[in-house]
Chain A
């Protein structure tokens, strides 16, 4: 059975030149409201089998993040439909909703609940999250005193312990020092081992080849190629090499 099914999804953004929000401006500029339609996705279809790890590659502006946001229901498709079977957790930003004056521990509750966990679920994971974040006694300090690395670690620790069936990751692996990146990758492999479905966005074909079994290459809102990760990563790397040279 497929974990994610994307059927002919189109997404239109309306680009406003000088966005008008207020009544006065609407009235004064009623003939000047310039908008332009931009199609970020043009008929994208894909199926992600349960337990697969899919790399989403493409250049900036190719629609990768838009597709990820549509799958996670942050955005809605203009046309087409998306079916998702299972609980989704999206890692677009680490530490969403952290309050600087609250301690690390308090922020774990805040952040995890925004990601949809109940109190009991959070209590059950609290120790693991604290251990993973490697903050030591800083866990009971306000996060205002954290370095950006500590902040990211705490955010990542919460996100990967939400224990979703489907995990969507958007280029967040670029944060933290090398040791922590290794740890994140190890955790992703662990989740793969547990049979989770993972989609992750990147523009590094190397990561795709290493981590994924499937890959989708998006180019200007359309799927240019999809299939086994190694093949797609190679084709993309060649194309990018050609484009650069």
Chain B
């Protein structure tokens, strides 16, 4: 297995190029081009702040930003997993003709979405300032939270990518499962809104501490709950190793199955 991980590393240039292809080709030919990467989160923000400050009043102060700081990382997860599910099947032509470590395909999807999330910060940070939310040194915890989330996202991406080759319904199931997961994660609402007696179950959801940590460091200017985050990191690392082991086992027959 370590040998195969080393091989993925040897193909880092392919990974890099696929990510670049993903980021650049998506908006190629459109007038605004790469700027769309920024416009998407910007429009999202405009719509949310209009709706939640004028149409639907929520008890949370600055609700648009409360939502936005959690929605960006959620989109990173959701889009990565959704696109990863299709990544092997979509590249069937390549897989049947050339040998390369297959994990490069779902991993490139994850990295491309990671970059999209980082570009989204280019909107998020000015927006936080515009809404007069004080930025504090707790932002320094951001890379740690992002790393923990990426472990989890990569694990899921590998699993659904391999699974979808053998069982094509998975792509659609993933869409529904992500929606349910979205409502079960405190993105739209604060963790405190969950009744105390069931809150324990919500903390089993690995995205709960992650979203909570992002919200703490961006929105409340507080440090994340390190103990909680550390446990999630260990769980995420274990999940990634298992997912990778599974992927390496399943990838052998991929060229015949797609």
Contact (Cβ within 8 A) B169 A113 = no
Which residues of B are found within 8 Å of A237, using beta-carbon distances? Answer: none
Which residues of A are found within 8 Å of B16, using beta-carbon distances? Answer: 113, 119
Q: Does B255 contact A (CB under 8 A)?
A: yes
Q: Does B192 contact A (CB under 8 A)?
A: no
CA distance A74 to B100 in the complex (A): 8
Stretch from B5-13, B49-57, B69-77 forming part of the interface with A: B5-13
CA distance A101 to B169 in the complex (A): 31
Q: Does B2 contact A (CB under 8 A)?
A: no
- Known A73-B99, A113-B17, A116-B100; judge A23-B169 contact (CB<8 A): yes
Could you tell me the distance in whole angstroms from the C-beta of A99 to the nearest C-beta in chain B? 6
Could you tell me the distance in whole angstroms from the C-beta of A43 to the nearest C-beta in chain B? 20
User: Number of residues in B with C-beta < 8 Å to the partner?
Assistant: 27
- Known A13-B256, A76-B253, A101-B29; judge A109-B98 contact (CB<8 A): no
Contact (Cβ within 8 A) A74 B94 = no
Q: Does A214 contact B (CB under 8 A)?
A: no
Residue from A72, A76, A114, A119 having most chain B Cβ neighbours under 10 A:
A114
What string of 1s and 0s marks CB contacts (under 8 Å) between A154-173 and chain B? 00000000000000000000
Q: Does A235 contact B (CB under 8 A)?
A: no
Q: Does B96 contact A (CB under 8 A)?
A: yes
Q: Does B167 contact A (CB under 8 A)?
A: yes
Could you tell me the distance in whole angstroms from the C-beta of B28 to the nearest C-beta in chain A? 5
Q: Does A96 contact B (CB under 8 A)?
A: yes
**Across the two chains, which residue of chain B brings its CB closest to A93?**
B97
Which residues of B are found within 8 Å of A21, using beta-carbon distances? Answer: 167-169
Could you tell me the distance in whole angstroms from the C-beta of B154 to the nearest C-beta in chain A? 20
Of B17, B94, B167, B255, which contacts A109 at CB under 8 A?
A: B17
CA distance A110 to B17 in the complex (A): 6
Contact (Cβ within 8 A) B169 A115 = no
Q: Does B23 contact A (CB under 8 A)?
A: no
Is the contact region of chain B dominated by helix, strand, or loop, or is it mixed?
helix
Q: Does A88 contact B (CB under 8 A)?
A: yes
Could you tell me the distance in whole angstroms from the C-beta of B129 to the nearest C-beta in chain A? 36
Q: Does B248 contact A (CB under 8 A)?
A: no
Q: Does A75 contact B (CB under 8 A)?
A: yes
Q: Which of B76-122 contact A (CB under 8 A)?
A: 93-100
**Across the two chains, which residue of chain B brings its CB closest to A71?**
B99
Q: Does A102 contact B (CB under 8 A)?
A: yes
CA distance A93 to B93 in the complex (A): 10
Contact (Cβ within 8 A) A99 B99 = no
Of A69, A88, A97, A115, which contacts B255 at CB under 8 A?
A: A69
Of B12, B98, B252, B256, which contacts A118 at CB under 8 A?
A: B12
Could you tell me the distance in whole angstroms from the C-beta of A112 to the nearest C-beta in chain B? 8
Could you tell me the distance in whole angstroms from the C-beta of B21 to the nearest C-beta in chain A? 6
Contact (Cβ within 8 A) A114 B255 = no
Could you tell me the distance in whole angstroms from the C-beta of B22 to the nearest C-beta in chain A? 10
Q: Does A22 contact B (CB under 8 A)?
A: yes
Contact (Cβ within 8 A) A122 B255 = no
Q: Does B25 contact A (CB under 8 A)?
A: yes
Q: Which of B12-32 contact A (CB under 8 A)?
A: 12-14, 16-18, 21, 25, 28-29
Which residues of A are found within 8 Å of B98, using beta-carbon distances? Answer: 74, 90, 92-93, 96-97, 114-115
If A13-B256, A97-B94, A102-B25 are given as contacts, then 9 extra A-B residue pairs at C-beta distance below 8 Å, sorted by A number, are: A21-B167, A99-B21, A101-B29, A110-B17, A113-B14, A113-B17, A115-B100, A116-B11, A118-B13
* Leading 5 A-B pairs by shortest Cβ distance: A113-B13, A21-B168, A113-B14, A93-B97, A73-B99
26 contacts between A and B (CB under 8 A): A21-B169, A22-B169, A23-B167, A69-B255, A73-B99, A74-B97, A74-B99, A76-B252, A88-B99, A90-B97, A92-B97, A93-B93, A96-B98, A101-B25, A109-B13, A109-B17, A110-B21, A113-B13, A113-B16, A113-B17, A114-B100, A116-B10, A116-B11, A116-B100, A118-B10, A119-B16
